[in-house]
Structures are given as C-alpha cells and as structure tokens.
Amino acid sequence: QVQLVESGGGLVQAGGSLRLACAASGTIFRVNGMGWYRQAPGKQRELVATVTSGGSTDYADSVKGRFTISRDNDKNIVYLQMNSLKPEDTAVYYCNAAVRRRAEVLSSTYWGQGTQVTVSS
C-alpha cells in the first residue's frame, strides 16, 4: 500500500502564505515525479507544480514567481510553499506522486486526499 497525506492547508488572507506538505509512505521502492494539483468548485483539476526525482521543477503560469515546489527524497515528502496568495488560489490542493512499489516493476500514480486552501479577499 502507498499513502499520500497532505497537510498545511487552511484559511489565509490575500497576500499571505501557506506551506503545504505531502508525505508518501508504504511499500515504496522509489518515488519518481511528484506534484501538486488543485481543483476549485466547478472547475477541472489543474496542475500547479511538479518536481522530478532529480529536482527539476515546473509551474503553472498562474503561480510562477509565487509558489515553490521542493522535495525531500530521503523522506519522500514534497512541499509547496505558497506566497502572495490570491483569492483565485482557493481550491482543494492534491498531492500526486508516481511511485514504484517494492517487488513491482511498473510505477503507478497515487493521489492524496486533498487539503483545502481558502484565500480571503
């Protein structure tokens, strides 16, 4: 079993900051790419940021310069530092990871349960 658990969401005023964390645990051989997605009411889930096992990052245009994704490979934790938050950032944020489990050949994609981020005006 592989579990992804997010934390760090909450209510913050516009211009404030939050730091999300997602810890992957279970029968893990290797965690490859990790990322953050978000879904606002009435909208499709969208990619926010990704980070490879080698540390390469990519961001959605809407969060560039404000959000920073990072990871701790030893602990299988991915972080999302969110600064200068805007009301438009309000959404449920989901952690995603491509994980190869022990004793398996193929990697599978796993999702966390989501954490609510609400940015007030």
Could you report the per-residue pLDDT of 31-72, keeping only the tens digit for each? 999 999 999 999 999 999 999 999 999 999 999 999 999 999
Give the sign of the dihedral formed by CA 47, CA 117, CA 30, CA 57.
positive
Do residues 84 and 66 touch, judged by C-beta distance below 8 A? yes
- For residue 30, the one-letter residue type is R
Residue 111: other Cβ atoms inside 10 A: 14
pLDDT at position 93 over 90: yes
Percent of the chain scored above 90 by pLDDT?
90
CA of residue 58 relative to chain centroid, distance: 12
Phi, psi for 52 (deg, rounded to 5): -85, 170
